[in-house]
Amino acid sequence: MNKRITEEVNANTENIDEMNALEIATMMWKEDQSIYHGIDSCLSDIAKAIDMIVDRWQQGGRVFVVGAGTSGRIGVLDAAELGPTFSVKANRWMAFLAGGHEATWKPLEQHEDNSEDIVKSLKEHELKTVDAVIGMSASGSTPYSVAALTYGKEVGAATISISCNTGTVSGDISDVNIEAIVGPEVIRGSTRLKAGTAQKMILNTISTGVMIRLGKVYKNEMIEMQLMNHKLKHRAEATLMKLADVDEQQATYLMELTDHHLKKALFIALTNASLEESTFYLNKTNGHLKQAIQLFYEP
């Protein structure tokens, strides 16, 4: 195994087993500051990943996030939250964890060496050129994620590597290589710490950036969340009242008129358009509310 930054001894924490609770917490917090610098240095690559996924998504493409252990669990968490937050269908943004769903809560890290399983899964999902594969691993050399990126490259899909080392195998075979160098872990090799946090922040930024670019956010408000309970329906009405400056009675009326379609309700409230016009202009701009409003007012 080549020397990896994530596997090196952290000289700052060699006596951490002699520290009291406050000293441990303080030391870990200080070490976490390196996450900021690590991510800051690869923002341009994160932006490239966002643009690449948006381009593929608008052609009907999907996103496959692949990882083992902590990296894979982060992928599962992020994918699971995109549905309720942005109404993303489960078959558009998928996460694959070495060892399967059971590995989400059980230690099945032995499956990270199984490269055949992920290739089989990607083939079963008929990976295409319009899709994107995100391979996540702290080391950048985990066979499971490397195999996914390799197969993605063969198919012609967009390939994105997220790791916390330099000169990685994953990076070498990917279209976009995101390397967040956060230094040795507080406990040597425990990449559920700084490396895991950095990967989660990067994936959150990519997925959220994609959703913003796709028009699932208006200003900084969620406008395409799934209204699955009373709390979320109330939030949608409150959002409508805030963004369109309407009272509660009008907000309730518009939400009922549009069958609880917040974007259409906002379009009508902000433009005084009809329900039919809201449908037409939102379809014309692929659901991008701000662009739909701008198009409505064009001469």
DSSP assignments along the chain, one per residue: ----GGGS--GGGTTGGG--HHHHHHHHHHHHHHHHHHHHTTHHHHHHHHHHHHHHHTTT--EEEEESHHHHHHHHHHHHHHHHHH---TTTEEEEETT-GGGGTS--GGGGG-HHHHHHHHHHTT--TT-EEEEE-SSS--HHHHHHHHHHHHHT-EEEEEESSSS-HHHHT-SEEEE----S-SSTT-TTTHHHHHHHHHHHHHHHHHHHHTT-EETTEE-S----SHHHHHHHHHHHHHHHT--HHHHHHHHHHTTS-HHHHHHHHHH---HHHHHHHHHHTTT-HHHHHHHHH--
Residue finishing a domain among 163, 186, 213: 213
For residues 130 and 186, state if they share a domain.
yes
- What percent of the chain shows pLDDT beyond 90? 88
Q: What is the pTM of this model?
A: 0.92
For residues 42 and 57, state if they share a domain.
yes
Catalytic annotation, residues = 81, 112
For residues 155 and 275, state if they share a domain.
no
Bigger pLDDT: 185 vs 107: 185
Q: Into how many domains does the chain fold?
A: 2
Bigger pLDDT: 134 vs 115: 134
Banded model confidence at residue 101, pLDDT cuts 50, 70, 90: confident
Summarize pLDDT for 246-264 with one digit per residue, the tens.
999 999 999 999 999 999 9
For residues 208 and 225, state if they share a domain.
no
For residues 93 and 13, state if they share a domain.
yes
Q: Please give the pLDDT value at position 112.
A: 53
For residues 244 and 118, state if they share a domain.
no
> What is the extent of the structural domain holding 240?
220-297
Residue finishing a domain among 213, 248, 273: 213
Banded model confidence at residue 109, pLDDT cuts 50, 70, 90: low
Residues 231-250 have a mean pLDDT of 94
Q: Please give the pLDDT value at position 2.
A: 46
For residues 86 and 163, state if they share a domain.
yes
Q: What is the CATH number of the domain that holds 136?
A: 3.40.50.10490
For residues 176 and 117, state if they share a domain.
yes
Residue finishing a domain among 189, 213, 237: 213
Q: Please give the pLDDT value at position 115.
A: 83
For residues 122 and 204, state if they share a domain.
yes
Banded model confidence at residue 99, pLDDT cuts 50, 70, 90: confident
The answer to whether residue 103 scores a pLDDT higher than 70 is no
Q: Please give the pLDDT value at position 1.
A: 40
For residues 206 and 260, state if they share a domain.
no
Q: Please give the pLDDT value at position 3.
A: 60
